[in-house]
Amino acid sequence: MTRPDIVLYTANTMNGWKPLIFLHEAQIDYELVPIDFSKKEQKAPDYVRLNPNGRIPTIVDRGANDFAVFESGAILWYLAEKYDQFLSHDPNERSETLQWLMFQMGGIGPMMGQAMFFQRIAKPNGDKVPYAIDRYVNESRRLLEVLNKRLAGRDWLVGDAMSVADIATYPWARSYFWATVSIDGLPHLKAWFDRIDAMPRVQDALQLPEPRPSAFGEGDTDAAASENAARFR
């Protein structure tokens, strides 16, 4: 049996799911190395040599002299170029894909991440900061409105096929309930969620490295919230 080129170090988080979604949807063989935050494996010296930021995800490409890539957006771009998938050949569409990928990496991810942090980690651990919660929830809602407008009359963020921009954005935007950001009145965004929710290989990827469905769907928020607070205490 040949060893797969790509070794993926990841965990079941919004950023961690992005390369999993790519690899599963493209049906590419890879080796999965789960990173356990409770053991601080993401801060271990051997790992930080691959990812100077000490966070997940990271890939190593054995097919390219063990070249390491960190930052989830850069990982998606690397995989897109290596496997010629989820990235148009048209120069303008490539630029648009990069624009929406940047919009996710610089906007949706950080803002929704902070909305989640202040409600799901800080608050249950005794640090309630309403100003920060309002600021990040409102900014997240504004960014979801931008996505909704973009998706009016189109199925995908760029062109007429799923791209790495959709792959990067979906795990974050789809976790709106975990950030308590309303998607009322955003029908195009909702239709895009439905489209990707219906893709079985994407949904398989969201069960790895271990299932953590609480960020998706509208399950028992209180139970999921206290479990999560304990995890990050």
Ligand X SMILES: N[C@@H](CCC(=O)N[C@@H](CS)C(=O)NCC(=O)O)C(=O)O
Minimum Å gap between C-beta 134 and ligand X is 23
Residue nearest to ligand X (CB): 55
Give me the phi and psi of 176, to 5 degrees please.
-55, -40
Size of the site for ligand X (CB under 6 A): 11
Cβ closer to ligand X: 8 or 186?
A: 8
Q: Using the rule CB under 6 A, is 214 a contact of ligand X?
A: no
Minimum Å gap between C-beta 40 and ligand X is 7
Minimum Å gap between C-beta 15 and ligand X is 4
- When binding is defined by CB under 6 A, the residue of 7, 8, 21, 56 that contacts ligand X is 56
Q: Using the rule CB under 6 A, is 208 a contact of ligand X?
A: no
Minimum Å gap between C-beta 56 and ligand X is 4
Q: How many residues are recorded in the chain?
A: 233
The region of 14-22, 144-152, 153-161, 224-232 touching ligand X under the rule CB under 6 A is 14-22
- When binding is defined by CB under 6 A, the residue of 12, 15, 119, 175 that contacts ligand X is 15
Radius of gyration of the CA atoms of the chain, in A: 17
Tokens representing 56 are 């997940």
Q: Whole-angstrom Cα distance, residue 98 to residue 127? A: 36
- When binding is defined by CB under 6 A, the residue of 9, 23, 55, 116 that contacts ligand X is 55
Minimum Å gap between C-beta 227 and ligand X is 17
**SS3 call for 216:** coil
Q: Whole-angstrom Cα distance, residue 134 to residue 179? A: 11
The string over 84-113, giving b where at least 16 C-beta atoms fall within 10 Å of a residue's C-beta and e elsewhere, is: ebbbbeeeebbebbbebbebbbebbbbbbb
Minimum Å gap between C-beta 1 and ligand X is 30
Would you give the binding string for ligand X spanning residues 35-54, x where CB under 6 A is met?
Answer: --x----x------------
Q: Using the rule CB under 6 A, is 14 a contact of ligand X?
A: yes
Asked whether the CA dihedral 123, 127, 128, 129 is positive or negative, the reply is negative
| Residue 145 half-sphere exposure toward CB, CA atoms < 13 A | 9
Q: Whole-angstrom Cα distance, residue 223 to residue 29? A: 35
Q: Whole-angstrom Cα distance, residue 177 to residue 19? A: 22
Residues making contact with ligand X (CB under 6 A): 13-16, 37, 42, 55-57, 71-72
